[in-house]
Amino acid sequence: MADLILNISAPGGLWMIIINWINSGVFNFAWTIILFTLLIKVVLSPFDFLIKYSTKKTTLIQQKCAPQIAKLQKKYANNQQQFSVLQQNIYKKEGLNMMSSCLIMLVNLIVTILIFFSIYTTLREASAYYAIKQYQELNTAYTNAYEKVLEDRNIGYNSSADYSENEAMKAEIATAKQDESVKTAVMEKWNEVKDSWLWIKNIWVLDGHTDPLPTYSDLTKLANNAGGLFNSGVKDSYVEYVKGIKESDYNEVRSTISSSLNGWNGYYILVVLAGGVTFLSSWVNERSNSLKRKKEPKQRTNQFIKSSAPAQNNNQTAQTSTAMKVMKFALPAVMIIFVLTSSSAFGIYIVAQSLIGIGMSYLINLIVDKLTHKKQLEVIEYLDKIER
C-alpha cells in the first residue's frame, strides 16, 4: 500500500507549475497561493485598466455630446431611426466606439471566468493529491515505527512474510502497534507534513468543523472532486488509489493521532471573510462611482440625463441599478458557497483575490483619473462655452 503513491501523478497544468515554482522559494502553500493570486491579478490588471479607462472616456464623450444629442432628440422626436443615425455620427466624430468598449468588457468577463474555474479545478486536484500524500507519509511512518519495535524485541519478525495464519505473531504485531513510540513517530510526521497556516491546521481540507486529517469518507470525496474545467486528468488515479486503501487500515493509522485532531480544522473565518470582503469590494466600487458622480457639475449632469435619458432609458437605468444591487448580495453568497464546499486552499484564494482586487482597483482608478484629467477639463470648458 505504501508504494501505491508512486503510481499517482501530481496535478499538472500551468497553474500548478507556477504554484510549485513559487512554493520552491516560500515553502508554505498558503502564502504561495496568496502570492500566486497577486501574480494573476497583476497579469490581468491591463484588462481592468482598459475597462476603467474606456468607461471613463465614454462618459466624458457622452457628456460633451449631450447638448447636441438633446437638440437632435427634440428635432427628431418622431423619427427615432434618423435620430439614432445622427447620434451615432456624432459619437463617431468624437471617437466613441461603443462596440470596442463592450468587446473589452466581454473578453475580460470570459477570461476572468475561465481563470477562476481553472484555478478552482487546480486547487481541488492539489487538495486531493496532498491529502493522499499526507496519508502515505503517515502510513510509512506508522509501518516503520511498529516494525522497529518488533525488530527491537528480536522475535524473528520479517516484514515480507505473511503472518495471516500465525496468531502468535499477529498478537505481537498488534501489541507493537500500540507502543507509545509508534504514536510519537506518527505525530512527529504529522506535524512535519501538515500544511498549516495561521488558524488553519491543514489547508487541504475545509476551514471549519472537520478534522485536519480527513476521515476515510472525506478523503474519498476529495478524490472524487478532483476534476473540472481544464483538469489535468489525475482524478481517476486518485479515486483508484483511495479505493485501494482498506478503510480499516486507514482508520488504524489515523487513530494514532485522532485524539489531537479535536474535530476542528478552522473556525469558518475564511467563510466570513469571503462573503465580507466580496461585499466590501462591491460596496467600494459603488461608493467610488457615487462620489465621482457627485463631483460632476450638477447642472451638466441633469442636462445630460434630461437630454439623453427619456422615460425608456430611465427604466433601463433603474433596471441596471436593481441588477447591481442584487449582484452586490448574490456574489458574496456565491463565494460563501464555494468556500463552504472547498478546501481552505481555495478559500484563501478567494479572500486574497478580493482583497488584492480592492487595492488594485483603487490604484487603477488613480491612474485613469490622472490620464483623463486633461480630457475632463476640455469637456468642462466646452460645456461652459455652450452655456454662455
pLDDT of residue 224: 95
Burial class of residue 246 (count of CB atoms within 10 Å of its CB; 0-12, 13-18, 19+): exposed
The residue extents of the domains of the chain are: 19-118+269-387
- pLDDT(3) > 50: no
Answer for the pair 96, 66: CB distance below 8 angstroms, yes or no.
no
β-bridge mates for residue 200, sequence order: 197
Average pLDDT for 171-192: 93
pLDDT tens track for 31-50: 999 999 999 999 999 988 98
Average pLDDT for 40-67: 88
Alpha helices in 204-308 (DSSP H): 216-224, 235-243, 247-255, 269-295, 298-308
Q: What does each C-alpha distance from 322 to 28, 160, 278, 286, 316 come to in angstroms?
A: 43, 70, 18, 13, 10
Average pLDDT for 367-372: 90
Query: Which are the contacts of 48, defined by CB distance < 8 A and separation ≥ 6?
Result: 108, 360, 361, 364
The span from the CA of 217 to the CA of 267, in Å, is 21
| CA-based nearest residue to 255, from 133, 129, 138 | 138
Query: Which of residues 189 and 76 earns the better pLDDT score?
Result: 189
- H or E stretch covering 24: helix 14-26
Share the mean pLDDT of the chain. Answer: 85
Buried b / exposed e along 315-343 (16+ C-beta atoms within 10 A): eeeeeeeeeeeeebeebbeebbebbeebb
The span from the CA of 282 to the CA of 334, in Å, is 14
Straight-line distance from the first to the last Cα atom of the chain, in angstroms, rounded to the nearest whole number: 87
197 φ/ψ angles, rounded to the nearest 5 degrees: -160, 120
pLDDT tens track for 210-256: 999 999 999 999 999 998 888 888 999 999 999 999 999 999 999 99
